[in-house]
Structure 1
């Protein structure tokens, strides 16, 4: 069951207590960035000396093609906090950049749920404490 199906079930059951919705989670994303591991390595080589990013092993041809099938997603949340998700494809013949980005994005979003859940729980706790005083 994916996040959208869960959201539909929550709404269908009329559950109305405070919670984080998928829409709220997605609205909390200020920016998103995607890159393959190869693009990351190449960027590191351009910006650094080779010894800073692995020395000779980074200049060899072995592994560079394998890095093309590992996709990263970086989500920057409204408060500046970042989370990452990744998608690895075992067979280069099956690699599709769009699918890789979608899976990496979903994996990054899964890391945002507990962060936003904690923040909501803290708000509810603080409101309860205020009412008890």
Structure 2
């Protein structure tokens, strides 16, 4: 059995994340209901990642390589895992800063003339991203 399989077996069953639907029916505790009819469609669906699939795959391979080399060279494995985490952190931070810039540009560019609907959409996007970060 691999380390990951053993670890998965040992971890306690987790309840669904807040904001997700429980397969037994109904929203989970902490679910934020939509603000209105248009709220049901999200500008940033929960399943969309901040990183491109190719970047996630590359970082996953680096981490798997680090795990695979631990027995042969533990220090090198830990250094490689550290570098992979640093790279992932940098990429996610860059993506979040860019996303914040894009959201802000929709209402800051208009200044006091921003429409209420633009402000509502911006607030909803800020909420979605913040809650996703807090659920990590």
Common fold by TM > 0.5: no
Q: Which of the pair is proportionally richer in strand? A: 1
TM-score by length of 2: 0.29
Highest RCO, 1 vs 2 (Cα 8 Å, sep ≥ 6): 1
TM-score by length of 1: 0.30
